[in-house]
């Protein structure tokens, strides 16, 4: 049992000691930024250490290997945007509300290039079965896909969506649009607006699968 918040004292600081948890957190933040910019394979732990203000071995004290550092990074990432897809009360948005939640997530993402870069690069690398983030990628997609499929089923039952709406296909392609837009936006941030394009996509889905209960945009209208 240790007393939770240990702050640095003048004495400990002069001896080069720091709060371990603090150093660890700095390292994770540094790793997110560097993995985001150059990928996991394209980043060395020495670079991460330098940005975190640690020596390479100092860093490896907190994470036994580079893969362990990656695991910590992924955990942090999921924590940061998993909260976004569940409301404060733990309930999940259903029907069109789920698509609106994704649009909101896209809007937030467009202010966080770090996290987007991390995601785009990592999912591409992690396609390889032997990549340390491979299982994470599988879990991630399984989770989002199931979440969205459930939301569409609920939307159908509530009468927000046509009975013929295909949940799997809708989920799959919507996730694909998000990922593809992130990729294009990273490449040319000034030319591509993730928010506009994704909102357009959702509007189109509403026009195709929405029922009269909710706004159906007719061809030729703006927005």
Partner DNA sequence: GTCTATAAGGGGATAGAC
Partner DNA sequence: GTCTATCCCCTTATAGAC
- Give the footprint of a second copy on this chain (CB under 8 A): 37-39, 41-42, 117, 120-121, 123-128, 137-138, 141, 162-166, 169, 172-173, 175-181, 183-184, 186-188, 192, 196-197, 200-201, 204-205, 207-209, 219-221
Q: At what angle do helices 134-158 and 167-187 cross, to 10 degrees?
A: 130
Q: Report d(CA 102, CA 40) in Å as an integer.
A: 26
- Nearest-CA neighbor of 102 among 187, 29, 170, 186? 170
Q: Which long-range contacts (CB under 8 A, 24 or more apart) does 102-108 make?
A: 102/148, 102/174, 102/178, 102/198, 102/202, 103/195, 103/198, 103/199, 103/202, 105/81, 106/178, 106/181, 106/194, 106/195, 106/198, 107/195, 108/81, 108/84
User: Minimum Å distance from CB 160 to a second copy?
Assistant: 13
Q: Which does 67 bind (CB under 5 to 8 A by kind): a second copy, DNA, none?
A: DNA
User: Minimum Å distance from CB 120 to DNA?
Assistant: 20
Backbone conformation region of residue 193, classed left if phi is above 0, alpha if psi is from -120 to 50, else beta: beta
User: Minimum Å distance from CB 133 to a second copy?
Assistant: 11
Nearer to a second copy, 67 or 128 (CB): 128
Nearer to DNA, 65 or 196 (CB): 65
User: Minimum Å distance from CB 44 to DNA?
Assistant: 3
Return the structure tokens found at 171. 């989920």
User: Minimum Å distance from CB 195 to a second copy?
Assistant: 12
Q: Which does 64 bind (CB under 5 to 8 A by kind): a second copy, DNA, none?
A: DNA
Q: Which does 181 bind (CB under 5 to 8 A by kind): DNA, a second copy, none?
A: a second copy
Q: Which does 55 bind (CB under 5 to 8 A by kind): a second copy, DNA, none?
A: DNA
Nearer to a second copy, 26 or 119 (CB): 119
The C-alpha angle 20, 41, 120, rounded to 5 degrees, equals 95
């Amino acid at each position: 049992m240790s007393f939770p918040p240990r702050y640095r004292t003048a004495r400990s600081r002069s001896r080069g000691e720091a709060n371990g948890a603090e150093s660890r957190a700095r390292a994770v933040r540094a790793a997110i930024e560097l993995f985001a910019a150059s990928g996991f394979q394209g980043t060395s732990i020495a670079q991460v250490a330098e940005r975190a203000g640690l020596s390479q071995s100092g860093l490896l004290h907190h994470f036994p290997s580079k893969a362990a550092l990656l695991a910590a990074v992924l955990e942090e990432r999921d924590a940061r945007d998993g909260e976004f897809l569940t409301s404060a009360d733990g309930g999940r948005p259903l029907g069109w509300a789920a698509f609106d939640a994704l649009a909101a997530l896209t809007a937030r993402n467009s202010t966080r290039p770090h996290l987007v870069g991390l995601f785009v690069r990592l999912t591409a690398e992690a396609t390889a079965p032997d990549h340390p983030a491979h299982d994470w990628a599988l879990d991630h997609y399984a989770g989002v896909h199931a979440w969205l499929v459930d939301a569409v089923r609920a939307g159908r039952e509530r009468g927000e969506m046509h009975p013929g709406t295909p949940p799997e296909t809708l989920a799959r392609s919507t996730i694909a649009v998000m990922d593809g837009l992130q990729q294009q936006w990273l490449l040319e941030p000034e030319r591509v607006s993730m928010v506009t394009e994704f909102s357009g996509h959702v509007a189109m889905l509403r026009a195709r699968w929405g029922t009269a209960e909710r706004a159906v945009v007719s061809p030729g209208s703006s927005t």
